[in-house]
Homo-oligomer: A and B are copies of this chain.
Amino acid sequence: MTKRTIWLHPEGSAVQIVDQRSLPHELSIATLRTSDEAAAAISEMWVRGAPLIGATAAYGFWLGTLEALGQKDSKAWLEACAARLLATRPTAVNLQWAISQQMDICRELAFEPKACQQACLANAQAIVEEDVAHCKAIGGHGLALIEAIYRKTGKAVQILTHCNAGRMACIEWGTATSPIYQAHAAGIPVHVWVDETRPRNQGARITAWELAEAGIPHTVIADNTGGHLMQHGMVDICLVGSDRTTALGDVANKIGTYLKALAAHDNDVPFYVALPSSSIDFSLQDGLKEIPIEKRGAGELSHIQGWSEEHAEILSVRLTPEHSPAVNYGFDVTPARLVTGLITERGICRAEREAIREMFPDLSAGA
């Protein structure tokens, strides 16, 4: 098992990633040698998850600085490279955040290719190390919530999660899963309800695989099931990630998160969102109006990929009638009023403007 989800190729001049499309059936490693390959890996979801998208974009931009060496106008080249990477996916703010960091660095170095190369590589590595540290810290803060439930009930803590906000969405640890990994390591019994997360099944494919690898008790459920479980007292806490959180605490996350937040609210189940501050977009207020929601291809819904025991291979099958259209929105926005709290690397705060500002006075100052 690879420990991280992205790393520098041992020979340099390339990065390697886990190609997440074939999970859980195969664990395959892909090498990205160009900024275009990095952009494709993001848009075609070889990698996904806000923090990992940010890290891949940062490395992808660094690959662009290598390519800039052969260009007449390195500034124009890098601006185009930034634009191509930015256009891959619209919802996760980490993409913008990582690319604008890299562009700021290049601007300061007057787009001198050699200097940009070194500085952008160092920055990509710093982004990666910071994400690991932030996810670990998120886990520590979230662990306290899980521990408190366990102390009260004395039973395995029942956690519901949606999509994959695990280590495969980050570098290590994950955001929503970090408290779970740390609780498990601390000997607190936990059980995770894993939302399948249609249409791309990141829960059933990736979160379940991660938890199985870590030996953490879990059960895969259809996305339709969480409400019923919460009505019957079978969920102690919901823990999800975020692709972009506004200054007011509205949370964009994988489509369907809002429905779980409604059910949690209706049944007095605490609903927490785990996120590094890199996912907060301090420039936005009303998430429903302002966060761009990605619309992906209908084929992701009409067809699905799985393991055919009969043919001993991964196959795609069509689920819908041939002439029925389908639509595929990637995310929805959970209004702050439904969020019990944000678990960040600095601690837990309410999903409200003042609380977020107090937690991150340095980051929110400019906005």
Which of A255, A324, A325 gathers most chain B CB within 10 Å?
A324
Which of A258, A260, A321, A331 gathers most chain B CB within 10 Å?
A321
Residues in B neighbouring A322, C-beta threshold 8 A? 24
**Are A320 and B259 touching (Cβ within 8 A)?**
no
**Are A263 and B255 touching (Cβ within 8 A)?**
no
Stretch touching chain B among A133-141, A173-181, A195-203, A235-243: A195-203
Residues in B neighbouring A304, C-beta threshold 8 A? 304, 306, 317, 319
Known A-B contacts: A212-B321, A308-B308. Give 6 more (CB < 8 A).
A220-B327, A221-B327, A228-B258, A228-B332, A259-B260, A309-B318
Residues in B neighbouring A198, C-beta threshold 8 A? 196, 198, 222-224
Does residue A307 face the partner (Cβ distance < 8 Å to B)? yes
CB distance from A71 to the nearest CB of B (A): 42
Does residue A326 face the partner (Cβ distance < 8 Å to B)? yes
Closest to A305 in B: B317
Q: Which of B196, B306, B315 contacts A310 (CB 8 A)?
A: B315
Residues in B neighbouring A323, C-beta threshold 8 A? 212
Q: Which of B301, B308, B319 contacts A205 (CB 8 A)?
A: B319
**Are B259 and A263 touching (Cβ within 8 A)?**
yes
Does residue A100 face the partner (Cβ distance < 8 Å to B)? no
Number of interface residues of A (CB under 8 A): 68
Closest to A218 in B: B324
Tell me the bound Cα distance from A218 to B323 in angstroms: 10
A-B contacts, 16 listed (Cβ < 8 Å): A25-B318, A201-B319, A204-B320, A205-B320, A208-B320, A209-B321, A212-B324, A222-B328, A225-B332, A228-B331, A231-B333, A303-B306, A304-B304, A305-B317, A306-B319, A308-B318
Q: Which of B266, B314, B316 contacts A262 (CB 8 A)?
A: B266
Tell me the bound Cα distance from A23 to B258 in angstroms: 31
Residues in B neighbouring A199, C-beta threshold 8 A? 196, 222
Does residue A359 face the partner (Cβ distance < 8 Å to B)? no
**Are B327 and A219 touching (Cβ within 8 A)?**
yes
Which of A226, A259, A328 gathers most chain B CB within 10 Å?
A259
**Are A318 and B332 touching (Cβ within 8 A)?**
no
Does residue A270 face the partner (Cβ distance < 8 Å to B)? no
**Are A225 and B315 touching (Cβ within 8 A)?**
no
Does residue A311 face the partner (Cβ distance < 8 Å to B)? yes
CB distance from A336 to the nearest CB of B (A): 14
Residues in B neighbouring A196, C-beta threshold 8 A? 198-199, 301, 319
Tell me the bound Cα distance from A231 to B334 in angstroms: 10
**Are A256 and B227 touching (Cβ within 8 A)?**
yes
Tell me the bound Cα distance from A194 to B320 in angstroms: 11
**Are A259 and B321 touching (Cβ within 8 A)?**
no
Q: Which of B205, B220, B259, B318 contacts A306 (CB 8 A)?
A: B318
Tell me the bound Cα distance from A92 to B261 in angstroms: 29
Does residue A40 face the partner (Cβ distance < 8 Å to B)? no
Tell me the bound Cα distance from A22 to B112 in angstroms: 62
Residues in B neighbouring A333, C-beta threshold 8 A? 228, 231
**Are B220 and A326 touching (Cβ within 8 A)?**
yes
Tell me the bound Cα distance from A328 to B224 in angstroms: 10
Tell me the bound Cα distance from A205 to B321 in angstroms: 7
Tell me the bound Cα distance from A256 to B227 in angstroms: 7
Does residue A188 face the partner (Cβ distance < 8 Å to B)? no
Closest to A195 in B: B224
**Are B311 and A311 touching (Cβ within 8 A)?**
yes
Does residue A302 face the partner (Cβ distance < 8 Å to B)? yes
